[in-house]
Amino acid sequence: MHNPTAAMVVIGDEILSGRTQDTNSNYLARQLTLLGIDLKEVRVVSDNEEQIMRAINDLRMKYTNVFSSGGIGPTHDDITADCIAKAFGVPIDVREDARAALAQNYENPEVELTEARLRMARIPDGAVLIDNPVSKAPGFSMENVHVMAGVPLIFKAMLAGLLPKLKTGKKLLSETVNVKRKEGDIAKVLGGIADDNPDTSIGSYPYYEGGQFGCNLVVRSPDPKRLADVTAIIRKAFTDT
58-97 binders of its own copies (CB under 8 A): 73-78
CA dist 227 and 222 (Å) reads: 8
Instruction: Provide the terminal-to-terminal Cα distance of the chain, rounded to the nearest Å.
Output: 38
CA dist 38 and 32 (Å) reads: 7
Q: Does 52 bind its own copies (CB under 8 A)?
A: no
Q: How far is the CB of 168 from its own copies (least distance, A)?
A: 15
Cβ burial 200-238 (10 Å sphere, 16+ → b, else e) = bebebeeeeeeeeeebebbbbbeeeeebeebbebbeeeb
> Which of 57, 135, 144, 168 touches its own copies (CB under 8 A)?
135
Q: How far is the CB of 206 from its own copies (least distance, A)?
A: 6
> Which of 11, 35, 37, 42 touches its own copies (CB under 8 A)?
42
Pick 126 or 133: Cβ nearer its own copies? 133
> Which of 90, 100, 116, 160 touches its own copies (CB under 8 A)?
116
> Which of 95, 117, 122, 146 touches its own copies (CB under 8 A)?
117
Looking at 110-118, 138-146, 160-168, 228-236, which segment touches its own copies (CB under 8 A)? 110-118
Q: How far is the CB of 73 from its own copies (least distance, A)?
A: 5
Burial of 63 (0-12, 13-18, 19+ CB in 10 A): buried
**Rg for the chain, CA atoms, rounded:** 22
Q: Does 43 bind its own copies (CB under 8 A)?
A: yes
Residue 28's nearest CA partner among 166, 221, 223 is 166
Strand partners for 56:
none
- Residues 26, 29, 31: CA angle, nearest 5 degrees: 110
Footprint of its own copies on residues 179-198 (CB under 8 A)?
A: 183-188, 190-191, 194-195
Pick 76 or 89: Cβ nearer its own copies? 76
Q: Does 134 bind its own copies (CB under 8 A)?
A: yes
Counting residues that bind its own copies (by CB under 8 A) gives: 73
Q: β-strands 122-124, 92-94: how paired?
A: antiparallel
Pick 48 or 144: Cβ nearer its own copies? 48
Q: What is the distance, to the nearest Å, from the Cα of residue 150 to the centroid of all Cα atoms in its chain?
A: 12
Pick 19 or 89: Cβ nearer its own copies? 19
Q: Does 169 bind its own copies (CB under 8 A)?
A: no
Q: Does 114 bind its own copies (CB under 8 A)?
A: yes
